[in-house]
Amino acid sequence: MSNVETRQLFMGGFLAMNEITWPNQIEFLYCNAVQFPISSGWPDLLDTLVVDSPMECMPFLPNSLSHLYLGIWWEGRCMPNWPTSLPHYSLAGAIITEEQAIYCSVLNSTCPGSYPGIAGRVFRDLNGNGSFDPNEPGLSQATVTLQANGNMASCASDGTWEIGVQPGSYTITAATNYPYIQSIAPASHVADVPNMGDTDTDNDFAVALIPNIQDLRAFVYADPARPGFDNQVYLRCENYGTTEVDATLALTFDADQSWLGSSIAPASQSGNTATWSFPAMPVGSVQQIVVDLNTAANVPLGTSIIHTLIADPVASDETPLDNTATYTDSVVGSYDPNDKLLNPARLTPDEVAAGSTPIEYSIRFQNTGTFHAERVVILDTLSNDLQWESMTFVASSHDQHWYITDGVLHVIHN
């Protein structure tokens, strides 16, 4: 530890320290390979903080802080709070705003002094008793909304949900675009979490569904096709209805590509069509398949690529139009592995005013480094012209969970 100036302090050298009493005049602090108790806090007048190595728990940041620089190791970690004087902070050179930050709560951090957490479950009440029983499946199509801030949390496959919040009182409702709900009970919960570290985890919602609805949905998307390279096509079939279905999934892939293999072997193949069978698909279940294709080196750039996926049976389906999914792209050379595509790409002013046209987002990202990414966080600030409560998760190549806080969509891949 060295005191370079009266108002500057540099700490380093793999120090594990006991309780620290900070000099009151410290305005600039640099920490490298230092651990100290979270109860030590930071200097009261701290203006600039540089933390260049992991800390088990970040102490609460003082409101005087206006400059914060964190190393790459902090990526994906949570912030204890947001100082009132801090316009943004730097994470390995990237600018992170207050809306983009991930905040520590008792649900995502074991550090003391974390924000409160609220959790619960949305489940199919098979026996109608209003309480969750071990054999009752979750309703992953649901979301929950917290008022008064309007933040949203998604449900996992077992129907569980959780979200970190500021201390206060919140009214929780279960919301969903799922069309086959007969009833949700109760209509709402009230969670009181007035103190840091409080939890309220018993906010369950029992759902009754309209019986015997057959509704399969098909989705297909792909990595870019490049001459002389392999790429992957991602297939997804979801039983969106309320009854078991014997499903058949058929992919007709583009004739300018050749088959290499798939994560699940097809039941049959003929030409450029592969077919899979999934008997007795349970309600809410999803089948995902990854197909490997190759594009010959002599295929010209700009060549159209079309893949079509059909989920059968179609004739008896409640919404047959979404049983067929088509992916259209073109052969490219070099490309940016990280992009966001919208369909439709544009809306007229009348369509925006009507608010009835769904927009499908496809977000592609790739780890181009030489080591696996342990946690990937995608942030997207949503336009006020969008109906945030209509957000519906469609498909993903990796497990994820998502939530919306202050108009910012967070998608977390662990």
372-392 pLDDT, tens digit each:
666 677 888 888 878 777 777
Residues 75 and 150 in one domain: no
DSSP assignment string, 281-342: EPTT-EEEEEEEEEE-TTSPTT-EEEEEEEEE--TT-SSGGGGEEEEEEE--SS--S-EEEE
Residue pair 227/221 in contact by the 8 Å Cβ criterion: no
Residue 101 lies in a domain: no
Q: What is the mean pLDDT of residues 288-316?
A: 96
Residues 125 and 34 in one domain: no
Q: Which of 275, 309, 335 is the last residue of a domain?
A: 335
Q: What is the mean pLDDT of residues 224-253?
A: 95
Residues 165 and 203 in one domain: yes
We report the CATH number of the domain holding residue 235 as: 2.60.40.1510
The answer to which of 54-63, 74-83, 288-297, 331-340 has the lowest mean pLDDT is 331-340
* pLDDT tens digits, one per residue of 130-164: 999 999 999 988 889 998 778 888 888 899 998 88
DSSP structural state of residue 348? -
- The answer on pLDDT for 315 being more than 50 is yes
Residues 232 and 341 in one domain: no
- The answer on pLDDT for 129 being more than 90 is yes
Q: What is the dihedral of CA 44, 48, 49, 50, to 10 degrees?
A: -160
The answer to which of 41-55, 222-236, 246-260 has the lowest mean pLDDT is 41-55
Q: What is the mean pLDDT of residues 324-348?
A: 81
Query: What pLDDT was estimated at residue 104?
Result: 79
Closest to 282 in 3D by CA, of 68, 135, 74? 135
What is the rounded end-to-end Cα distance, in angstroms, of the chain?
Answer: 36
We report the CATH number of the domain holding residue 198 as: 2.60.40.10
Residues 244 and 318 in one domain: yes
Residues 395 and 327 in one domain: no
Considering only residues 88 and 357, tell me which one the structure prediction assigns the higher pLDDT. 88
How many structural domains are present in the chain?
4
Considering only residues 81 and 48, tell me which one the structure prediction assigns the higher pLDDT. 48
Q: Which of 290, 313, 335 is the last residue of a domain?
A: 335
Residues 139 and 57 in one domain: no
Residues 216 and 315 in one domain: yes
Give the domain extent around 9: 2-96
- The answer on pLDDT for 8 being more than 70 is yes
Residues 345 and 329 in one domain: no
pTM for the predicted model, two decimal places? 0.62
Residues 319 and 271 in one domain: yes
Residues 184 and 197 in one domain: yes
Residues 268 and 380 in one domain: no
DSSP structural state of residue 193? E
106 backbone φψ class: left, alpha, beta (φ>0; ψ -120 to 50): alpha
Phi, psi for residue 169 in degrees, rounded to 5: -120, 135
Query: What pLDDT was estimated at residue 242?
Result: 94
